[in-house]
Amino acid sequence: MKKIALAVVILITAFLASCTTKFTTTTTVSRTTTTTTLNLSRIHSEVYARIYEELYAEIRAEVLQNLSEERFDQIYQQVVADLLERVEQGEMEVTALSLIELIYGVAAKEADAAIGVTIYDATGAVMATGSGVIFHKVGNKYYVITNQHVVDGGTTFEIEFEDGSSVEAILRGVDKLVDIAVLYFTSDETFAVATFADSDAVTKGTLALAVGNPSGYRYYGSMTLGIVSGVKRYFDIDGDNIKDLFVPYIQHDAAINAGNSGGPLFNLEGKIIGINVIKISSVEIEGMGFAIPGNLAYDVAMDIIEYGVSKQKPVLGIQFIDIALNYAYFAANGIALPEGVDKGFYIIQVYPNLSLSSYVQPGDILIQIGEIEIQSSVQFVTAFSSRYRVGDIVSITILRGGQPLTIDNIELKARLN
């Protein structure tokens, strides 16, 4: 019961930003400390719903080992009702302290796993500095995840620590498609090792802490706070005016700058939800940073550790136009689509030695891969990424000259690094 009650109190505090709240704050300015006491006056009904959704799911499985489901429901409902009644009657004060302590906790512990990465060229000159995070340890070998573009072109590498010490690192491998690199170093010293959260559970509004080295080591280990502004954002990385569907980026507004690339994005539990990689910099735009989702980054990185390359995301090997999103493009360019066709991928280029290289050609319309009927690129990528891996055997259905054609026994292949 105490565990349930404590979890409810913590969760209520975490929701303060989304409801009408009053809490105690203390401000110090020029040795003068002023305290403003604000008691919680109201908690919206939507907060009750979120408490139920998030807390119930989190603790239900554990306590059901000792309680019947019916009894658990009774206890849960009573605890929530009693706590919220006490809060609203002023018998219990909710402050921002719990939230602040969570942030301090990450800063004091998990953030230590964020490190610096220095890249040297063949002459021994420094090419660049960036960020990374220690995420895996085997014996006295520590593995660091960062971005591929951080280490690109480098000959030798060093891991830099906050006290100014450093250790030589070896590049284990990279994945250019997802922009992930893995370095490792050996040491008998003990270093913090961060863990990953389930990034599929990250939603808009999740509080996030970015840690990294903006503008080099002068600002080593800088931490910034923000919220997740959106999920599953896609970009035209290669500048061909077609969104690349390699990575469903997490958008957030925790400040990141040059040098933050490869650094971790933590949740308030101190677990990695993403690896920072991109920001949109413009006079008209502010607070738009993007991170590779933690689940994808971790899977790719673990593959690199084991195989030297990633085997997670198959590459079809085609450049295409999503008909559903670009229907007007075809009329504007004099391309006649088969009658009644308003969805699928219109193939404009086929790359060699990849999954579909020997099976499709420009002008084909891809309408199904495996069990996935293509409705749109976003729908397809979500379904394909969660279902298929390198080495899987699938069939495809295309329209060629307006006629359907099914091709079986196609092996999905990895990107050529």
Per-residue pLDDT band at 165 (split at 50, 70, 90): very high
Judge whether 318 and 350 are in contact, CB under 8 Å: yes
Does the global pTM surpass 0.85? no
Distances (CA, A) of 46 to 12, 86, 90: 12, 18, 20
Cite the residue boundaries of each domain of the chain with CATH code 2.40.10.10.
110-186, 202-294
Domain 110-186 has CATH 2.40.10.10: yes
Q: Is 98 one of the annotated active-site residues of the chain?
A: no
Pick among 2.40.440.10, 3.40.50.1370, 3.40.50.300, 2.40.10.10: CATH of 202-294: 2.40.10.10
Point out the catalytic residue in the list 98, 149, 166, 253: 149
From the list 222, 229, 261, 377, the catalytic residue is: 261
Concatenating the DSSP letter of every residue in 84-148 gives HHHHHTTSS---THHHHHHHHHHHHTGGGGEEEEEEE-TTS-EEEEEEEEEEEEETTEEEEEE-H
179 is an active site residue: yes
CATH 2.30.42.10 in the chain, residue ranges: 318-411
Q: Kindly give the residue spans of alpha helices, DSSP state H, lying in 242-338.
A: 294-307, 327-332
- How is residue 17 annotated by DSSP? G
Report the CATH number of the 318-411 domain: 2.30.42.10
Of 70-74, 253-257, 258-262, 345-349, minimum mean pLDDT range: 70-74
Three-state secondary structure string covering 188-233: CCCCCCCCECCHHHCCCCCEEEEEECCCCHHHCCEEEEEEEEEEEE
What average pLDDT score do residues 254-264 get?
88
The question of whether 45 is a catalytic residue gets the answer no
Element housing 5 (H / E): helix 2-14
| Percentage of residues of the chain with pLDDT beyond 70 | 70
Q: Which of 112, 175, 179, 303 is catalytic?
A: 179
How many Å apart are CA 133 and CA 102, to the nearest integer? 20
Instruction: Return the bridge partners of 223, or none.
Output: 211
Q: What is the pLDDT of residues 2-36, one digit of tens each?
A: 343 334 333 333 333 333 333 333 333 323 223 33
- pLDDT of residue 73 exceeding 80, the answer is no
Per-residue confidence at 378, pLDDT binned at 50, 70, 90? confident
Phi and psi of 14, rounded to 5°? -65, -20
